[in-house]
């Protein structure tokens, strides 16, 4: 009987950009004090688990969240960097606040190429303003659509393609080496990882919020 291998997947802690309501994407953003607490919560939740390999992205928030986790895992001798699990690129919107984003709508009629995740995170009054500007049908297409990319950035579909390749590689790697793996990743890459592993419908995936202090566990 084959050994059941485990993946422990978690999001980085809250960052300064998350706190300030900025589109983060693949930009650097440091953990806040609250974000460091999130990392410690993850570490405690994983304390009783065993994994021999850890995977992170090149961004500091992924590394800094993984660091306290590894303090409890001397058995983890291999740390890999893989940007297939990096956050979705928001392109030209990265670093701007939601308010600045809304202000930009009046200047460039279709700089609103941000899918439902970004719209979902807007305050209700701002979402209403976006819907009024676009019209209900176009708003709905962007709000629930996978194919619409941020200006100069990625769409949900783009992220799903690279995450799918990562999962295919991960399964082969784990089975070949018979290892459990912990992954310090990002909100949207986790969302698409979950979609693939849980075979969830797109409409459901769009509505998911990925907590900063939750561990998703999968058997391979």
72-80: which pairs have CB atoms within 8 A and are 24 or more residues apart? 72/43, 72/46, 72/47, 73/46, 73/182, 75/50, 75/51, 76/51, 76/52, 76/182, 77/52, 78/52, 78/53, 78/54, 78/179, 79/53, 79/54, 79/55, 80/53, 80/54, 80/55, 80/56
Residue 54, domain member (yes or no): yes
Give yes or no: residues 85 and 118 share one domain. no
The structural domain count of the chain equals 2
For residue 88, the Cα-to-chain-centroid distance in whole angstroms is 7
Give yes or no: residues 80 and 22 share one domain. yes
What's residue 178's pLDDT? 97
Give yes or no: residues 64 and 160 share one domain. yes
Scan for tokens 């949900």, then name that residue: 156
Looking up residue 61, the CATH number of its domain turns out to be: 3.40.50.1240
Residue 27, domain member (yes or no): yes
Give yes or no: residues 71 and 128 share one domain. no
What's residue 105's pLDDT? 52
Contact indicator for 158, 30 with CB cutoff of 8 Å: no
Give yes or no: residues 72 and 10 share one domain. yes
Give yes or no: residues 173 and 73 share one domain. yes
What's residue 51's pLDDT? 98
Average pLDDT for runs of 10 along the chain of length 220: 90 94 92 98 97 98 98 98 95 77 50 48 63 60 61 87 98 98 97 96 84 97
Q: Which domain holds residue 62?
A: 6-89+155-219
User: Torsion angle, CA of 74/52/10/60, rounded to 10 degrees?
Assistant: 70
Residue 76, domain member (yes or no): yes
Residue 130, domain member (yes or no): yes
What's residue 115's pLDDT? 43
What's residue 2's pLDDT? 73
Give yes or no: residues 98 and 85 share one domain. no
What's residue 48's pLDDT? 95
Give yes or no: residues 71 and 178 share one domain. yes
What's residue 129's pLDDT? 66
């Amino acid at each position: 009987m084959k050994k059941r291998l485990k993946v422990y997947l978690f999001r980085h802690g809250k960052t300064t950009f998350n706190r300030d309501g900025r589109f983060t994407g693949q930009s650097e953003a440091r953990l806040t004090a609250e974000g460091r607490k999130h990392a410690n919560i993850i570490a405690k939740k994983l304390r009783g688990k065993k994994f021999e390999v850890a995977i992170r992205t090149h961004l500091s928030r992924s590394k800094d969240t993984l660091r306290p986790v590894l303090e409890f895992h001397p058995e983890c001798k291999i740390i890999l960097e893989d940007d297939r699990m990096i956050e979705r690129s928001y392109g030209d919107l990265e670093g701007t606040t939601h308010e600045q984003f809304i202000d930009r709508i009046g200047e460039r009629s279709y700089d609103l190429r941000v899918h439902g995740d970004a719209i979902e995170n807007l305050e209700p009054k701002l979402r209403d303003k976006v819907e009024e500007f676009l019209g209900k049908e176009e708003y709905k297409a962007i709000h629930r659509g996978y194919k619409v990319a941020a200006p100069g950035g990625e769409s949900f579909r783009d992220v799903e393609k690279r995450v799918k390749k990562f999962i295919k590689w991960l399964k082969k790697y784990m089975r070949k080496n018979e290892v459990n793996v912990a992954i310090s990743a990002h909100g949207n890459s986790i969302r698409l990882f979950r979609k693939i592993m849980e075979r969830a419908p797109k409409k459901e995936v769009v509505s998911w919020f990925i907590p900063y202090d939750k561990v998703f566990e999968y058997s391979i």
